[in-house]
Chain A
């Protein structure tokens, strides 16, 4: 099963890293024409920093999308987590471990609720997670009228320290990504995720507990959103409910799909997602250095996302059997 899946996956992943290199090169040329240097330390730091937040969210999102699910509540979970973290820490370094545990517990439970409703009540994940997102929003709006809590300086390091040009948060993100790659390639549940996303009926018939697998993916997705919330708290020095207004969930989904994971599940992986996140980060940095109008940024982002996915889709068409084209032949 995995043998069959891995060969095309590596091909796609290589293509995505090629795309990343292409975007970097194009960006470097554009910045150079403008008289700058994309690879100056300040710009490198900026690019890497931008990868961490979307990175955490996108790693978890990859797992649920592989299972042919979706999580539109991650932005809300992250916002709630930032508040849980900041209010639990309350300025005391001694509270940091407790706060991290509380965040992982809360975010994991939200993920579990998403997973359970989706897997066992048969609710489409789009609706489940839109609904949980609204529930969390209602709680946050009622409870908080602005930033709350206080993050001690020690924990702010998570958001601000860097080793050379590499921020610590990016290193942690890469470590989480590595763990997720290992999990998908080597653990039983990881293999099951591909099977469930590929064809739930076949997976069920071959003895996989599909519900449990989906639940696990959602719990992990919730927890990575929790980690993203911890990062927000570290960067803000406080917790902020308003973080949910930034539509991080759509950024994360875009990164996952840019990373070559099929939105219909069953194919893709975290290595590609990291590249997808990096592509978005490079774009953002280049737009920033070139001082592109913020609205033009949206347009360019939209076009790049569609174009990239169209290119992947072309590749996949060449490789797999072409049902639609065959069908067109018959129809016309």
Chain B
């Protein structure tokens, strides 16, 4: 009896070894693909989108620079007269993916403040929202519920994942309600407008180019990433890989941290034990300060670093005087969809694809942005764009 059990355990162990051996084949496949992806076009790296986004960074957006949430890059205006409504008591519905990270929390407060302004101006009536807690299936139900209720005069959707909401969004479009998509996209252009900053490739490229420009050839760079499998984040890394591949920087590794400060500090500390780290690239700023502290605690010189326009990182950057850049995934985009809804309901033209500017915060602008946001909590985003809303600053402070 015991021998069979040991035999079974051994067989299982062997099976597990085989299984892991099988899975370890994969990265070599991927490595092969990675070398050819530039020519052949890997599924996760679309050269045309990459080129377009990098080019859009240099395009002067149309509109007032003082209100970047209303600016648009190379807009193609579409007619919305068919959706025009009288009265100004329209019900606007919003299906939110989640408020599960500080970036979304900040944006959601901004959107609510914008809604209050539009309501008091008599441009919209009721504002309904649902929150899917990052669950695609839940969000599909949420969208269906809005459509079935028949009460919505406009439907705003911030998709939880790019492709998976496509059928639900198509169904919503077919119901005749004007649909507004923002942040992540869907694989259909049936929405009246799709609002987003330039995009993930531009974010990743801004950061990677900064490192390439500010580090000596042969320097070492560690990439810290949040989660695998999230395509908007994969785009940021794909762009960075593309730029690093053409540089003489050595990439020590790319690690997933879940955005957890302890995990980040841990990983950076381990890399520092093994050798020098000259640069840090991040696909989102969550926990950036922990990475910097790892250098302090190890007695290592500060790296050249890219984080995000999250205040805790920017404050640390100012305090230490390190060489850094805050790439931005424009948080002010949360204002645009509700404004777009009022425009559509008034029959005004909107861009079919409303590309908002997305400019990183450089050292020259650092002090200015920190001054504007001096009273804001540390997990707040500098380019939230709500300074002119009546609830400022209390709504973002006492949340």
Determine if A160 and B171 form an interchain contact, defined as CB atoms under 8 angstroms apart: yes
For window 137-157 of A, CB contacts with B under 8 Å fall at: 138-148, 156
B 367-378 binary contact with A (CB < 8 Å = 1; else 0):
000000000000
B229 at the interface (CB under 8 A from A): yes
B 104-144 binary contact with A (CB < 8 Å = 1; else 0):
00000000000000000000000011110111111011101
- Of the residues B8, B27, B138, B164, contact of A240 by C-beta under 8 Å: B164
Determine if A117 and B140 form an interchain contact, defined as CB atoms under 8 angstroms apart: no
Determine if A142 and B167 form an interchain contact, defined as CB atoms under 8 angstroms apart: no
For window 35-54 of A, CB contacts with B under 8 Å fall at: 40-43, 45-46, 49-50, 53
Q: Which residues of B contact A144 (CB under 8 A)?
A: 229
Cα A40 to Cα B150 with chains together (Å): 11
Which chain B residues have a beta carbon within 8 Å of chain A's beta carbons? Answer: 5, 8-9, 12, 19, 23, 26-27, 30, 43-44, 98-99, 128-131, 133-138, 140-142, 144-145, 148-150, 161-168, 171, 227-231, 234
Determine if B167 and A236 form an interchain contact, defined as CB atoms under 8 angstroms apart: yes
Determine if A46 and B141 form an interchain contact, defined as CB atoms under 8 angstroms apart: yes
Q: Which residues of A contact B131 (CB under 8 A)?
A: 294, 297
Determine if A50 and B141 form an interchain contact, defined as CB atoms under 8 angstroms apart: yes
- Main SS of chain A's interface residues? helix
Which of B128, B136, B162 has the most CB atoms of chain A within a 10 A radius of its CB?
Answer: B136
Determine if A121 and B9 form an interchain contact, defined as CB atoms under 8 angstroms apart: yes
A246 at the interface (CB under 8 A from B): yes
A320 at the interface (CB under 8 A from B): no
A238 at the interface (CB under 8 A from B): yes
A159 at the interface (CB under 8 A from B): yes
- Of the residues A49, A146, A159, A297, contact of B231 by C-beta under 8 Å: A146
- Contact A159 B167, CB 8 Å, known A41-B148, A121-B12, A242-B161: yes
A135 at the interface (CB under 8 A from B): yes
Compute the total of residue contacts between A and B using a CB distance below 8 Å.
Answer: 119
Determine if A42 and B145 form an interchain contact, defined as CB atoms under 8 angstroms apart: yes
Which of A232, A241, A246 has the most CB atoms of chain B within a 10 A radius of its CB?
Answer: A246
Q: Which residues of B contact A240 (CB under 8 A)?
A: 136, 161, 163-164
A243 at the interface (CB under 8 A from B): yes
Number of interface residues of A (CB under 8 A): 45
A186 at the interface (CB under 8 A from B): no
Which chain A residues have a beta carbon within 8 Å of chain B's beta carbons? Answer: 40-43, 45-46, 49-50, 53, 117, 120-122, 135, 138-148, 156, 159-160, 232, 235-238, 240-243, 245-246, 284-285, 288, 291, 294, 297
Cα A141 to Cα B30 with chains together (Å): 12
Cα A49 to Cα B30 with chains together (Å): 39
Q: Which residues of A contact B137 (CB under 8 A)?
A: 53, 232, 235-236, 243, 246
Q: Which residues of A contact B99 (CB under 8 A)?
A: 294
Q: Which residues of B contact A42 (CB under 8 A)?
A: 145, 148-150
- Contact A146 B234, CB 8 Å, known A140-B229, A237-B163: yes
- Contact A139 B23, CB 8 Å, known A42-B149, A45-B148, A145-B228: yes
Q: Report the nearest B residue to A245, measured CB to CB.
A: B134
Q: Which residues of B contact A50 (CB under 8 A)?
A: 138, 141
Within the complex, what minimum Cβ distance (angstroms) separates B42 from chain A?
Answer: 9
Determine if A146 and B136 form an interchain contact, defined as CB atoms under 8 angstroms apart: no
- Of the residues A43, A232, A288, contact of B130 by C-beta under 8 Å: A288
- Contact A117 B12, CB 8 Å, known A145-B231, A147-B231, A294-B98: yes
Cα A242 to Cα B167 with chains together (Å): 17
Within the complex, what minimum Cβ distance (angstroms) separates A229 from chain B?
Answer: 11
List the 7 shortest-distance A-B pairs measured between CB atoms, nearest first: A146-B231, A42-B148, A236-B164, A147-B163, A294-B131, A141-B228, A145-B234
